[in-house]
Amino acid sequence: MKYYILFGPPGAGKGTQASSMVEKFNLCHLSTGELLRSEIAAGSELGLKAKALIEAGALVPDEVVEGMIESKFKSVKGVDGFLLDGFPRTIAQAKALDEMLAKTGESVTSVVSIMIPDEMIMERIRHRASIEGRADDAKEEVVANRIKTYHDKTEPLIGFYTETGRYNEIDGVGTIEEVRERIFDLMSKY
């Protein structure tokens, strides 16, 4: 199985690119953000706990997302691999992922990182807010907190994956098609 990590700041276009990536490479798209939003919509206990954190622009506890991911690894069949979107988001989650995969002698195939400049993040999220109506996109201070959380907790993963030679960066500035081509070229090498 292939395990690709789709990495990048909020608004980099991960969700947009994910659909063509899963189709081309027969992967299962696992977005922790989407999984959490469906728990919230279903009104589950987990959803209730996650809601306040997400709407404050904070992260939900590592164990929660790790559990969701591991159960999908066990239950999803008929694919050539997984596209992890929004996970891992902390060094602890990255280490937990390595341990999960090591149980079956597997490892992360490659990190595909979509990078855009900071000033573009706000602009893209403002645009998405007007289309998708996500609660955590609506307030500027929540978006600012998500960007801060990204810099503090998630950006250190770049060093973590660079050290083990699994980190690959893509320029996220350009049309959807241009960025998609860059991603496909990269993924085809693994």
In the residue annotation, 182 being an active-site residue is answered as no
Which amino acid, 166?
Answer: R
Tell which positions 56-95 bind ligand ADP, by CB under 6 A: 58-60, 65, 86-87, 89, 93
Name which position in 4, 10, 83, 161 contacts ligand ADP (CB under 6 A).
10
User: Is 112 one of the binding residues for ligand ADP (CB under 6 A)?
Assistant: no
In the residue annotation, 89 being an active-site residue is answered as yes
Total interface residues for ligand ADP by CB under 6 A: 16
Name which position in 40, 53, 122, 129 contacts ligand ADP (CB under 6 A).
53
In the complex, what is the shortest distance from the CB of residue 97 to ligand ADP, in angstroms, rounded to a whole number?
Answer: 10
User: Is 40 one of the binding residues for ligand ADP (CB under 6 A)?
Assistant: no
Do 30 and 82 form a contact (C-beta atoms < 8 A)? Answer: yes
User: Is 113 one of the binding residues for ligand ADP (CB under 6 A)?
Assistant: no
Residue number, 59 or 187, with CB nearest to ligand ADP? 59
CA dihedral over 73, 74, 75, 78, signed as positive or negative: positive
Name which position in 7, 27, 33, 96 contacts ligand ADP (CB under 6 A).
33
Name the residues annotated as catalytic.
Answer: 14, 89, 128, 134, 146
